[in-house]
A = this chain, B = another copy of it.
Amino acid sequence: MSRIPVGLVGVTGYTGMELARLLAGHPSMELVRATSRVDAGKSLADIYPFMQGTRLEGLTLTQPDAKDLAQACQLVFLAVPHGAAMDTAAELLAAGLRVVDLSADFRIKNPGVYAQWYGLEHRHTGLIGEAVYGLPERYAKEIAKARLIANPGCYPTSIILGLWPALAAGIIEPDDIVCDSKSGTSGAGRKANVPTLFCEVHDSFRPYGLGTHRHTPEIEQELGAVAGQKMTISFNPHLLPVDRGILSTIYAKLKGAMTGEGVRALYEEHYAAHPWVRVLPPGKLPELRFVRGSMFCDLALVVDPRTERLIVCSAIDNLCRGASGQALACANLMLGLDVDAGLPVAPLMP
């Protein structure tokens, strides 16, 4: 059995690391190129000792080169910072490659909104239109045919999956939603940086970017499409002293009286064909460890009759489901494979 050759541009961050982990065991895809400006020439095991002994250990990192990638690969994962990603994506597409871009550069359909939240003008607006938002439960068909995937952000994945059924069914007020999200520290990336040193994060907890985080317009765009109206969300992230995971606690006003069972039935039906979304049974609430290393999105639906609110708790692994695993699911669809090919089955517990 020969595997489909794929490439990875930008291997040295946590999302690149996670892709390497997942591809090391993929039955139908083979990582044949991994690029890094800084570490070109080294092997994957040189920079990632944990990859020693896997079939990818000897892969030599190269300088990014669109021609070389196009000759060697059928598809490329792009894991470089936003701003830089749009140029590289354009180059790779021009060389004939299909691209799964893990950055935010093609997620926002409106270039003005992109400029406003990301503080820079989009230089490849012509590509935005064809980019498909890579949420498999929502856009599987479009993903399968796409040249360019805008892989969803981690926070948006947790929130969109958490609110989609309720907004689609019209049971909550779209104008009065608060998302209080908590993320593991791997979401902050792997740059040398005092605020994410161990002693600055461990045994502590803090909010950041309240009301101003860049994932806000992405959430509003996708949920607005579901609700059929412009939406303004209060999105507020916090930093957890854990490696992986995002838990979003989402507060919405119910339009009319509903029971928890009623909401749960609605969600179960909505996600019946999507086994990665686990609607939890009554009385169970998500925990980050229950999704560690996996593609699961765990949803609890709590109706608080005192305040007439629906509280949705949504938990994912930010690196797997919220980034590299989701990118791999998109690539699976693009290459005609099962959406879950090569993706982990059971979470790592404890």
In contact, B350 and A244 (Cβ under 8 angstroms): yes
In contact, B210 and A302 (Cβ under 8 angstroms): yes
**In the complex, A290 has a CB within 8 A of chain B:** yes
In contact, A17 and B349 (Cβ under 8 angstroms): yes
A232 neighbours in B (Cβ, 8 Å): 306-307
Known: A197-B198, A198-B197. A349 touches B203 (CB 8 A): no
Whole-angstrom CA separation of A233 from B207 in the bound complex: 21
- In-complex Cβ contact of A185 among B199, B280, B306 (8 A): B199
**In the complex, A311 has a CB within 8 A of chain B:** yes
Whole-angstrom CA separation of A284 from B292 in the bound complex: 27
A313 to chain B, nearest CB (A): 5
In contact, A346 and B51 (Cβ under 8 angstroms): yes
A344 neighbours in B (Cβ, 8 Å): 25
Size band of the interface chain A makes with B: 35 or more
Known: A24-B346, A236-B249, A293-B348. A241 touches B198 (CB 8 A): yes
**In the complex, A285 has a CB within 8 A of chain B:** yes
Whole-angstrom CA separation of A155 from B205 in the bound complex: 15
The number of times this chain is found in the oligomer is 4
Give 1 or 0 for each of A30-57: 1 = CB within 8 Å of chain B CB.
0000000000000000001111111100
Per the 8 Å Cβ criterion, residues 255-291 of A in contact with B are: 275-276, 278, 280, 284-291
Whole-angstrom CA separation of A164 from B285 in the bound complex: 31
In contact, B210 and A243 (Cβ under 8 angstroms): no
Give 1 or 0 for each of A51-66: 1 = CB within 8 Å of chain B CB.
1111100000000000
A176 to chain B, nearest CB (A): 8
**In the complex, A3 has a CB within 8 A of chain B:** no
A109 neighbours in B (Cβ, 8 Å): none
**In the complex, A1 has a CB within 8 A of chain B:** no
In contact, A204 and B50 (Cβ under 8 angstroms): no
Whole-angstrom CA separation of A288 from B241 in the bound complex: 11
- In-complex Cβ contact of A210 among B197, B207, B238, B304 (8 A): B304
Supply 8 A–B pairs (Cβ within 8 Å), ascending by A.
Answer: A14-B199, A50-B346, A178-B251, A186-B350, A202-B243, A211-B304, A234-B311, A241-B242
Q: A186-B350, A211-B311 are in contact. List 18 more A-B contacts (CB 8 A).
A: A17-B349, A21-B346, A22-B346, A48-B349, A53-B276, A53-B278, A178-B180, A178-B251, A192-B192, A192-B194, A198-B241, A203-B292, A205-B288, A207-B300, A211-B306, A211-B307, A234-B309, A238-B249
Residues of A within 8 A of B (CB): 14, 17-18, 20-22, 24-25, 48-55, 178, 180, 182, 185-186, 190-194, 196-208, 210-211, 232-234, 236, 238, 240-245, 247, 249, 251, 275-276, 278, 280, 284-293, 296, 298, 300, 302, 304, 306-307, 309, 311, 313, 344-350
